[in-house]
Copies of this chain bind each other. A is one copy, B any other.
Amino acid sequence: MTGIPDFIPLHELRSGCPACSLRELCLPLGLARDEMAQLDEVIRQRIPVKRGEALFRAGQPFHSLYAVRTGFFKTTLLAEDGREQVTGFHMAGELLGLDALGGTQHACTAIALEDCEVCELPFQQLDSLSREIPSLTRHFYKLMSREIVRDQGLMLLLGNMRAEERLAAFLLNMSQRLEARGFSAKGFHLRMTREEIGSYLGLKLETVSRTFSRFQADGLIKVQGKQIDLLDLNAIRSLLGACAPTESH
């Protein structure tokens, strides 16, 4: 039981990876019972991260990947002149730290946007395990290539789309990912500020706010601070001009 902090209630100790509903999002499918048990040994579960805290920061040595169990993170990149850009928002079942997998230090910073729980996957031990469980390596290849494709989709958005299209793509993406996790696809509470949305989409916060207001005036959505309700999904979709992929991550 090494590495499992003792403030976790006893009954939680039994709910490791094999029982985790998010398993198929962060571990390969089709693992044998004993393989799963091996992984379960290695993974440190349910580490709490408070709102505003960093899970890791750019430049810190890389030791582990982290799977989001509950809560919501942003990852940011910091330019030398202080400009910071949000490179992603991450929710339950997603893996953080892939951009450091091959290297020695983290490239981005991961900040909790609300109180979160993560599971830690120490890379050294995963690496050893992957000799016994070849599908593990394959799984990380898949996750990393998915991350590359995701980033390229965002590049397409940043390079080609106008404010309305960007916001529409953002809302649909959130909707879809929340739905995939069993939440409502039509109403949700944004965890990030307008400024963080803007940074992610390459827009200023005022532009984000204005565009939300316009969407509301047009009857597409209802905005109440961070609470968003999508009133006309099809109309929002049509804003994309059949453009960028909404899918993925």
* A residues in contact (CB < 8 Å) with B: 77, 79-81, 83, 85, 87, 98-103, 107-108, 127, 130-131, 134, 137-149, 151-156, 158-160, 199-202, 241-245
Contact = CB atoms under 8 A, between A and B. Distances in A.
Contacts of A101: 141-142, 144-145
A144 B102 contact: yes
A47 B103 CA distance: 31
A140 B144 CA distance: 10
Nearest to A103: B145
- One complex includes copies of this chain to the number of 2
Contacts of A99: 145, 148-149, 152
Contact of A144 (B139, B145, B200): B145
Contact of A152 (B77, B127, B141, B242): B77
Main secondary structure of the interface of A (DSSP, over half): helix
Nearest to A156: B85
B148 A81 contact: no
Given A102-B144, A134-B131, A145-B103, A159 B81 contact: no
Contact of A107 (B81, B102, B107, B152): B152
Contacts of A147: 148
Which interface residue of A99, A140, A159 has the most chain B CB atoms within 10 A?
A: A159
A79 B148 contact: no
B138 A243 contact: no
A148 B98 contact: yes
Contacts of A244: 79
Contacts of A151: 148, 151-152, 155
A160 B79 CA distance: 10
A134 B134 CA distance: 12
A75 to B, nearest CB: 9
A244 B85 CA distance: 11
A32 to B, nearest CB: 18
Contacts of A200: 159
Nearest to A200: B159
Given A77-B152, A81-B242, A102-B138, A202 B144 contact: no
Contacts of A98: 145, 148
Contacts of A155: 77, 85, 87, 151, 154-155, 158
